[in-house]
Amino acid sequence: MYVCPDCKGSLQGLACSACGLEFAPAEGFPNFLRGGDRFERVGEISARYDIIYTQHEGAWEDQGRTAELIGYFARLAATLSTGRVLEVGCGEGFLLEALTAADKNAVDLSVTALRKARGRAEGTYALALAERLPFPAGSFDLVISVGVMEHFLDEDAATNEIRRVLKPGGHYLTLIHVHLDRVQRLRQKVREFIFPRARPAALLRWVSKKLLRPVHQPIKSHYTVASAQACLERNGLAVRRTISLASDPTAPLIGPHVVIYVAQRQP
Q: pTM score > 0.85 for this model?
A: yes
The CATH number linked to 120 is 3.40.50.150
Is residue 226 assigned to a domain? yes
Arithmetic mean of pLDDT, 249-256 = 91
20 occurs within a structural domain = no
pLDDT in tens, 63-84: 778 999 999 999 999 999 999 9
Q: How many other CB atoms sit within 10 Å of the CB of residue 190?
A: 11
Give strand pairing partners of 203.
none
**22 in a structural domain:** no
Which of the four pLDDT bands, split at 50, 70 and 90, describes residue 185?
low
Range of the domain at 124: 39-180+214-265
Tell me, yes or no, whether 3 lies in a domain: no
242-260 average pLDDT score: 93
Distance CA 74, CA 162 (A): 19
Residues 6+ apart with CB under 8 A from 158: 88, 129, 130, 131, 149, 152
Question: Number of structural domains, the chain?
Answer: 1
Sheet holding 258-265, edge to edge: 124-127, 103-108, 84-88, 140-146, 166-177, 258-265, 237-243
Residue-level pLDDT at 157: 96
Q: What is the pLDDT of residue 37?
A: 65
Residue 8 domain flag:
no
Is the pLDDT at 191 greater than 80? The verdict is: no
Question: Is residue 208, in this structure, part of any structural domain at all?
Answer: no
215 pLDDT above the threshold of 70: no
Per-residue pLDDT band for 36 (boundaries 50, 70, 90) equals: low
- % helix, strand, coil for the chain, step of 5: 40, 20, 40
Q: Would you place residue 7 in the very low, low, confident or very high pLDDT band (cuts 50, 70, 90)?
A: very high
Residue 56 pLDDT: 83
Residue 62 pLDDT: 67
Span of 78-87, 227-236, 246-255 with lowest mean pLDDT: 246-255
- Does the pLDDT at position 248 exceed 90? yes
Asked if residue 23 belongs to a domain, the reply is no
pLDDT band at 247; cut points 50, 70, 90: very high
Tens of pLDDT along 94-133? Answer: 999 999 999 999 999 999 999 999 999 999 999 999 999 9
What is the rounded average pLDDT for all residues in the chain?
A: 90
**Is 90 exceeded by the pLDDT of residue 206?**
no
pLDDT confidence band for 212 (50 / 70 / 90): low
**Is position 47 within any domain?**
yes
The answer on pLDDT for 154 being more than 80 is yes
